[in-house]
Chains A and B, each alone.
Chain A
Amino acid sequence: GAGVSQSPSNKVTEKGKDVELRCDPISGHTALYWYRQRLGQGLEFLIYFQGNSAPDKSGLPSDRFSAERTGESVSTLTIQRTQQEDSAVYLCASSLYGPGPYFGPGTRLLVL
């Protein structure tokens, strides 16, 4: 079946602009995760959604970052007033029970 998809695959923006990143999880997966990966570094947890439970937002680095998920479908990660340090690959993953989560290809964000 189809895997996790993310759009756009690449995004170049100017400092101070807002960006929206989209994630389409694997159909039926109740859990959805956002991670950030800076160049040459490991994965940094941002936020985790599980069904209708309150999301775990403990990894969001500042109030410029927010994410939404409607039910068990698409999620959007929004970064307001982007800064150069926001440049990274933003990775989305989803899971159900058992093995996982499974990652998408990521969105490469470059803030000029």
Chain B
Amino acid sequence: QKEVEQDPGPLSVPEGAIVSLNCTYSNSAFQYFMWYRQYSRKGPELLMYTYSSGNKEDGRFTAQVDKSSKYISLFIRDSQPSDSATYLCAMTQRASTGTASKLTFGTGTRLQVTL
């Protein structure tokens, strides 16, 4: 079993829809949770960064973490064609130095927002 599980999709939604992307994980030591967006032939772009359980909102994006269930979500409101990309969840412990230790990634969910 992988440490981080993510449905690869593809997920196709109409413009304006609310998108829900999810990951589950097995390592209870993970403390920091990230969502990255990756466009084709580009490097991953950090979208959201959260610590421990709770919600975080940034514009049309909301990240949720439920550590008791080992489940994280990314919601995209009013989805746009420009949101079409692969979304990768990532998680990590924190090193004693304060920086992130190595990240463990999900395989990514490919999202297509259609007109």
Are B100 and A53 in touch, CB under 8 angstroms?
Answer: no
Main secondary structure of the interface of B (DSSP, over half): loop
Q: How many A-B residue pairs have CB under 8 A?
A: 65
For residue A96, which residues in chain B have a CB less than 8 angstroms away from its CB?
99
Q: How many interface residues does chain A have, given as a range?
A: 20 to 34
Are A91 and B43 in touch, CB under 8 angstroms?
Answer: yes
* A100 sits at the interface (CB 8 A): yes
Interface string of B48-77 (1 = CB under 8 A from A): 010000000000000000000000000000
Question: 8 Å CB contacts to B: which residues of A42-56?
Answer: 42-43, 45, 48, 50-51, 53, 56
Are B97 and A106 in touch, CB under 8 angstroms?
Answer: no
Are B44 and A97 in touch, CB under 8 angstroms?
Answer: no
Given contacts A30-B99, A51-B97, A53-B97, contact A45 B104 (CB under 8 A): yes
When chains A and B are docked, how far (Å) is the Cα of A17 from the Cα of B98? 38
For residue A41, which residues in chain B have a CB less than 8 angstroms away from its CB?
107
Given contacts A30-B99, A50-B99, A96-B99, contact A104 B105 (CB under 8 A): no
Interface string of A69-112 (1 = CB under 8 A from B): 00000000000000000000001000111111111111010000
When chains A and B are docked, how far (Å) is the Cα of A66 from the Cα of B104? 20
Interface centre among A100, A104, A105 (most CB of B within 10 A): A100
For residue B100, which residues in chain A have a CB less than 8 angstroms away from its CB?
31, 95, 100-101
8 A-B pairs besides A42-B106, A53-B97 with CB distance below 8 A are A31-B97, A31-B100, A33-B102, A42-B108, A43-B88, A56-B102, A99-B49, A103-B45
Q: Which residues of B contact A (CB under 8 A)?
A: 6, 36, 41-46, 49, 88, 90, 95, 97-108
